[in-house]
Amino acid sequence: MQDITPRELDARMRRGELSPLLLDVREPWETQICRLPNAQAIPMRLIPSSLDTLERSRPIVVICHHGVRSRQVAQYLAHHGFQQVLNLQGGVDAWAKDVDTSMPTY
């Protein structure tokens, strides 16, 4: 499990170096306020029952509000055999400040 900053993630995706599953582990009320395009929302509490729905061969970037819950989920995924797991450092809050300043924040 590694951390990736919003700027690093944006740059790597724009260059085509990384085509990850963007896994948003926030609650539904949070994803209604803002979310990264194409992110798959699975609340943190549902991750254990959703492991079989995730592609193990694809890189996964785990996202939350500030990067705390996503770090826990990323560690959980790594512990369960997912090899390419990245935590979005600072979460959607940092993404909104560093990459997409038009994104609503809360």
d(CA 58, CA 43): 19
34 is catalytic: no
The DSSP bridge partners found for residue 87 are 3, 62
| Identified catalytic residue from 64, 74, 88, 92 | 64
The answer to whether 20 touches 36, Cβ cutoff 8 Å, is: no
Active site residues: 64
